Amino acid sequence: MASTPLRQQLSIMRQSLFDEGLLDHDQVSYLETLENEDDPDFIENIFTLFLRDSTKYIDSIEKALETTPVDYPVMERMMYRLKGSSASLGASKINGETNTLRNFFHDGDMESGKESLQKLKAEHANFKEKLAVYVGMLKQAKLSEY
Amino acid sequence: MLNLGYCKGSMSTASSGGVSDQFPVGLRVLVVDDDPTCLVILEKMLRICLYEVTKCNRAEIALSLLRENRNGYDIVISDVHMPDMDGFKLLELIGLEMDLPVIMMSADDGKNVVMKGVTHGACDYLIKPIRIEALKNIWQHVVRKKKNERKDMEQSGSVEEGGDRQQKQSEDADYSSSANEGSWKNSKRRKDEEEEVDERDDTSTLKKPRVVWSVELHQQFVAAVNQLGIDKAVPKKILELMNVPGLTRENVASHLQKYRLYLRRLSGVSQHQSGMGNSFISTQEATYGSLSSLNGLDLQTLAAASQIPAQSLATLQAAGLGRSTAKPRMPMPIVDQRNLFSFENPKLRFGEGQQQHLNNGKQINLLHGIPTTMEPKQLANMHHSAQSLGSMNMQLNAHGDQSGSLLMQMSQQQSRGQILNEATSSQVPRLPSSIGQPIVNNALASGVLARNGLAESGRGTGFNPVSQSSSTMNFPLNTTAELTATSFALGSAPGVPSLTSKGMFPEEISSEIKGPGGFIMPSYDIFSDLQHHRSHDWELQNAGMTFNGSQQSNSLQSNVDVASSVLAHQGFSSSQSNGQGRNISAVGKPMFSAGDATDHVNAQSLGQPLNNFFAENLVRVKTERVPDASLQTTLFNEQFGQEDLMSALLKQQQQAGIGPAENEFDFDGYSLDNIPV
């Protein structure tokens, strides 16, 4: 594709996502190679999906923690899903935070777990914001090239 | 961009096993994952490999897809954690019903979980994030499995297992359990002509090949006998009618003898029983829904394997029968645990110390309809058995953590059925509910737990991830004692296999009995006992599972897997066929489909033959019973507390208007206090 200003911007943003550790370079590059003409929106799609679902998962985890008694099965399922999807996507920070969170809860350390959840939420909010911008730019770049 | 050439290259030669030259292009993959992102990524990769991909995000959906189109898929890839069913359970069911290769995926890479996948028969185990390279080669599993199956079929006699073993050794290590399952499945599913031989007897002390009276084989036998008329049924003619290659007149003769004794006992034990037997069966079916097909044989086998608490069985029976054996949920008093175990193998050892009791050679005739497992003297012990079972049950319960194994429950039901026939005092209530629960599956471990008040949450601070992880072998089934029956989901079985897989069989079994996997544990003992005693060649074989004589840890594992698979299968079947929303949900709803007299699922379940087996006598009663069962089931669905179930059950019984025929049963005197813990 021609290196339009939009594309350049995209490229810079993408790199900064890597540099900030929000996205894993290898995994994302790998996913990008899967995209082809048949499915040109693959990357946007999975990013969008992830943003949507990860928000849901985190909300569920929080809710589960707040119920009495704590809804551990749901929590576990959500954390597990978040772990899997973030790993598959290459969302490294989220993946790392999720692992930490899970470990705390598995160990029964509710306090640390709750703190960790707050941290995860913050990370996630940051990630979401940036990734949403990136996806938006991606779409725009594509559109402008058609 | 990847790959077109990439994948094409890989398909070059795969034409063995009757696959097209284009193979693996067009390989039909069913991928199951509840996370949308993962699902999309996987689908993408699989499409790049030129596979034909079907996605789904629920295990139940996957199963129904597979069932609707049995030959529509070549391989299944599934995540280990699903909301509606444990992935391992799904794995077992698929292996059981469709015999397809299954690849497990997980976001966790703990060795335990991977081991679990392997021991449950997964062809492969992938850790997320998954790369396309891992998917490129999945077609090999399809080919390999086909090859193994063909080999199994061709082999005959005692060589079969040996062949499998050799095969296994030469194959991937992680395929071995599949091969085992495969061979088991083969014996279960292959054409009727295929005789089943003691696959695992080879290395036992017995050298000569023995006939394994599988469910199918027995079914054929009974059909032949009925056709000839019980009076006129001579071995020679039966043999001819059965037309099973390799079966000898002597095999038939000895089987016939046992069968005759069994029938004699049936009619002689009590008049009620004939009626009850029917109701028992029907009850069972009602209770188990599709499981009913499993019924006696399987249950017994399973029970044997898992040391079904007599009480549970009796209770279940009573419940099912609507007898007013209104015992509290607590397991029936176990008067004589020994008897319990005589059921399948004299040596059934129930885990902790009770085992010794069990080895008295008496067999519990768990199910009337299950002649195969009945030994003359066993019949005599039915009463005792029930009691024993009761005690067994108690024992199980006593072990706190022991989740009631499905097996147990099933067997409980079975034995209860029988026992109930004889005794009416069993406290059935508990069983039905409990049975319902565990039957479902692993996932049910959590489900069951949930049912009993969320075992998981019940763990207090020690948050335990879903029972699936082997670390949670100890089900926090501290909810109720009966949990033992209930909480023992076969689902927990996965845990068991993993235990065994650690190679610590007997010891582990004993010690592990406490854990959820405990129920399976005993079976190992049985196995070893079997090896030595082999008094009942068909016992464990009934369900087609090669329980007996599996001296090898591999075999045992697969046996257990099979057992759990069977149970799981059944449990799942019932839920499946039920359509009453008795789905396998983590909420722990009772899984058995009570009203499911329609054995539609049975077709797939092991118990199918058994069903037919009983069918002739039990049909009419069955239908009658169904409503009762459904009532009960419904109740169970909604109620989780023991007391609730108890009263519900009692109510049911009363409503059913089934008068207890207590006078003829020895169980009248049951009391919890009798349990010789």
* pLDDT at residue B667, as a whole number: 43
> Do the Cβ atoms of A76 and B129 come within 8 Å?
no
Q: What is the mean pLDDT of chain B?
A: 54
* pLDDT at residue B654, as a whole number: 54
What is the rounded distance in angstroms from the CA atom of residue B248 to the CA atom of residue A87?
A: 59
What is the rounded distance in angstroms from the CA atom of residue A23 to the CA atom of residue A89?
A: 8
What is the rounded distance in angstroms from the CA atom of residue B11 to the CA atom of residue B50?
A: 10
**Average pLDDT of the segment spanning B201-214:** 53
Cβ atoms of B201 and B209 closer than 8 Å: yes
**Average pLDDT of the segment spanning B56-72:** 91
Say whether residue A45 is in contact with chain B using an 8 A CB cutoff.
yes
CB-CB neighbours of A42 under 10 Å: 17
Which residues on adjacent β-strands are paired with residue B56?
A: B32
Chain A interface, best mutation among B3, B34, B37, by max A CB count within 10 A: B37
Chain A residues close to B35, C-beta within 8 Å:
53, 81, 84-85, 88
pLDDT of B144 higher than 90 = no
pLDDT of B100 higher than 50 = yes
Task: Provide the terminal-to-terminal Cα distance of chain A, rounded to the nearest Å.
Answer: 11
B124-144 burial, b at 16+ Cβ within 10 Å, e below that, comes to bbbbbbbebebbbebbbbbbb
**Average pLDDT of the segment spanning A133-145:** 88
> Do the Cβ atoms of A84 and B38 come within 8 Å?
yes
**Of A44-53, B379-388, B432-441, B667-676, where does mean pLDDT reach its minimum?**
B432-441
What is the rounded distance in angstroms from the CA atom of residue B472 to the CA atom of residue B254?
A: 45
What is the rounded distance in angstroms from the CA atom of residue B443 to the CA atom of residue A142?
A: 44
Say whether residue A67 is in contact with chain B using an 8 A CB cutoff.
no
Higher-pLDDT residue of B94 and B612 is B94
- Tell me: the pLDDT tens digits for B336-351? 444 433 334 444 343 3
Cross-chain CB nearest to A88 (options B41, B457, B459) = B41
Cross-chain CB nearest to A73 (options B35, B108, B446) = B446
**Highest mean predicted confidence (pLDDT) among A40-44, B142-146, B176-180, B404-408:** A40-44
Among candidates B394, B436, B140, which has minimal Cα distance to B292?
Answer: B436
What is the rounded distance in angstroms from the CA atom of residue B550 to the CA atom of residue B578?
A: 34
B267 sits in which H/E element: helix B249-269
* pLDDT at residue B396, as a whole number: 38
Chain A residues close to B129, C-beta within 8 Å:
27, 87-90
At A37, the pLDDT band (50, 70, 90 cuts) reads confident
Among candidates B432, B415, B484, which has minimal Cα distance to B625?
Answer: B432
Say whether residue B38 is in contact with chain A using an 8 A CB cutoff.
yes
Helix, strand, coil in percent for chain B, rounding step 5: 60, 5, 35
B103 sits in which H/E element: strand B102-106
Per the omega criterion (within 30 degrees of 0), is the bond before A69 cis? Answer: yes
* pLDDT at residue B438, as a whole number: 38
Cross-chain CB nearest to A71 (options B41, B83, B457) = B457
Residues 87-116 of B with CB under 8 A from A: 106-108
Higher-pLDDT residue of B429 and A25 is A25
Tokens of B27: 């390989």
What is the rounded distance in angstroms from the CA atom of residue B527 to the CA atom of residue A68?
A: 45
DSSP, collapsed to helix, strand or coil, labels residue B86 as strand
* pLDDT at residue B115, as a whole number: 86
- Tell me: the pLDDT tens digits for B294-342? 444 444 444 444 444 444 444 444 444 444 444 444 444 444 444 433 3
**Average pLDDT of the segment spanning B615-639:** 41
Show the DSSP H helices in B49-190 as ranges. 59-68, 87-93, 111-119, 132-136, 139-154, 159-170, 176-189
Tokens of A69: 């008694």
Q: Which residue has the tokens 């019932």?
A: B574
* pLDDT at residue B632, as a whole number: 41
What is the rounded distance in angstroms from the CA atom of residue A81 to the CA atom of residue A83?
A: 5
Chain A: residue whose CA lies nearest to B466? A73
Measured in angstroms, the CA of A29 and the nearest CA of chain B are apart by 11
Among candidates B110, B114, B135, B136, which has minimal Cα distance to B125?
Answer: B114
Per the omega criterion (within 30 degrees of 0), is the bond before B609 cis? Answer: no
> Do the Cβ atoms of A85 and B463 come within 8 Å?
no
- Estimate to the nearest angstrom the gap between the alpha carbon of A27 and the chain centroid: 12
DSSP code of B461?
T
Instruction: Give Rg (Cα) of chain A.
Output: 17
Amino acid residing at B399: H
Cβ within 8 Å of residue B53, ≥6 positions away: B29, B31, B42, B43, B46, B47
At B266, the pLDDT band (50, 70, 90 cuts) reads low
Which residues on adjacent β-strands are paired with residue B102?
A: B76
pLDDT of B639 higher than 70 = no
**Exposed (0-12), middle (13-18) or buried (19+): which is A44, by Cβ within 10 Å?**
middle
Adjacency order of strands within the sheet including B124-127: B52-56, B28-32, B75-79, B102-106, B124-127
**Average pLDDT of the segment spanning A90-119:** 92
pLDDT of A1 higher than 70 = no
What is the rounded distance in angstroms from the CA atom of residue B677 to the CA atom of residue B674?
A: 9
At B385, the pLDDT band (50, 70, 90 cuts) reads very low
Chain B: residue whose CA lies nearest to A67? B457
Say whether residue B131 is in contact with chain A using an 8 A CB cutoff.
yes
Length of chain B: 677
Measured in angstroms, the CA of B514 and the nearest CA of chain A are apart by 22
Measured in angstroms, the CA of A5 and the nearest CA of chain B are apart by 24
Length of chain A: 146
Say whether residue A55 is in contact with chain B using an 8 A CB cutoff.
no
Say whether residue A36 is in contact with chain B using an 8 A CB cutoff.
yes
Among candidates B671, B660, B673, B676, which has minimal Cα distance to B423?
Answer: B660
Cβ within 8 Å of residue B69, ≥6 positions away: none
Phi, psi of B77 (to 5 degrees): -120, 125
At A103, the pLDDT band (50, 70, 90 cuts) reads very high
**Average pLDDT of the segment spanning B520-532:** 42
Cross-chain CB nearest to B129 (options A72, A73, A88) = A88
Among candidates B626, B654, B649, B630, which has minimal Cα distance to B639?
Answer: B649
**What are the distances in angstroms from CA B355 to CA B358, B492, B499?**
5, 21, 19
Tokens of B356: 């010794």
* pLDDT at residue B24, as a whole number: 79
Cβ atoms of B640 and B453 closer than 8 Å: yes
Per the omega criterion (within 30 degrees of 0), is the bond before B346 cis? Answer: no
* pLDDT at residue A43, as a whole number: 92
> Do the Cβ atoms of A72 and B457 come within 8 Å?
yes
Higher-pLDDT residue of B313 and A54 is A54
> Do the Cβ atoms of A87 and B461 come within 8 Å?
no
Residues 465-494 of B with CB under 8 A from A: 465-466
Measured in angstroms, the CA of B80 and the nearest CA of chain A are apart by 10
* pLDDT at residue A145, as a whole number: 78
pLDDT of A5 higher than 50 = yes
CB-CB neighbours of B303 under 10 Å: 40
Concatenating the DSSP letter of every residue in B493-554 gives TTHHHHHHHTT-HHHHHHHHTTSGGGGHHHHHHHHHHHHHH---TTTTTTTT---TT--SHH
Cβ within 8 Å of residue B48, ≥6 positions away: A34, A36, B2, B3, B4, B6, B7, B132
Measured in angstroms, the CA of A126 and the nearest CA of chain B are apart by 19
Chain A: residue whose CA lies nearest to B444? A73
Say whether residue A83 is in contact with chain B using an 8 A CB cutoff.
yes
Cβ within 8 Å of residue B200, ≥6 positions away: B161, B546, B548, B549, B550, B551, B552, B555, B559
At B53, the pLDDT band (50, 70, 90 cuts) reads very high
**Average pLDDT of the segment spanning B593-610:** 40
> Do the Cβ atoms of B1 and A33 come within 8 Å?
yes
Is the confidence metric ipTM above 0.85 for this complex?
A: yes
* pLDDT at residue A40, as a whole number: 85
**Highest mean predicted confidence (pLDDT) among B166-170, B450-454, B603-607:** B166-170
What is the rounded distance in angstroms from the CA atom of residue B596 to the CA atom of residue B602?
A: 10
Among candidates B291, B218, B308, which has minimal Cα distance to B256?
Answer: B218
CB pairs under 8 A between A and B: 101
What is the rounded distance in angstroms from the CA atom of residue B181 to the CA atom of residue B563?
A: 10
Chain A: residue whose CA lies nearest to B80? A80
Say whether residue B134 is in contact with chain A using an 8 A CB cutoff.
no
Say whether residue A133 is in contact with chain B using an 8 A CB cutoff.
no
Chain A residues close to B457, C-beta within 8 Å:
69-73
Concatenating the DSSP letter of every residue in B558-597 gives HHHHHHHHHHHHHHHHHHHHH-SS----TT------TTTT
B265 sits in which H/E element: helix B249-269
Percent of chain B with pLDDT over 90: 8
Cβ atoms of A120 and A99 closer than 8 Å: no
Chain B residues close to A77, C-beta within 8 Å:
81, 83, 466
Instruction: Give Rg (Cα) of chain B.
Output: 23
Q: What is the mean pLDDT of chain A?
A: 91
Measured in angstroms, the CA of A142 and the nearest CA of chain B are apart by 18
Tokens of B239: 């043999």
Cross-chain CB nearest to B44 (options A39, A73, A83) = A39
**Highest mean predicted confidence (pLDDT) among A112-121, B238-247, B469-478, B628-637:** A112-121
**Highest mean predicted confidence (pLDDT) among A4-18, B382-396, B558-572:** A4-18
Say whether residue B5 is in contact with chain A using an 8 A CB cutoff.
no
Chain A: residue whose CA lies nearest to B446? A73
What is the rounded distance in angstroms from the CA atom of residue B303 to the CA atom of residue B413?
A: 9
* pLDDT at residue B248, as a whole number: 85
Please give the model's pTM, rounded to 2 decimal places.
0.43
What is the rounded distance in angstroms from the CA atom of residue B363 to the CA atom of residue B81?
A: 39
Phi, psi of B326 (to 5 degrees): -85, 80
Higher-pLDDT residue of B643 and A79 is A79
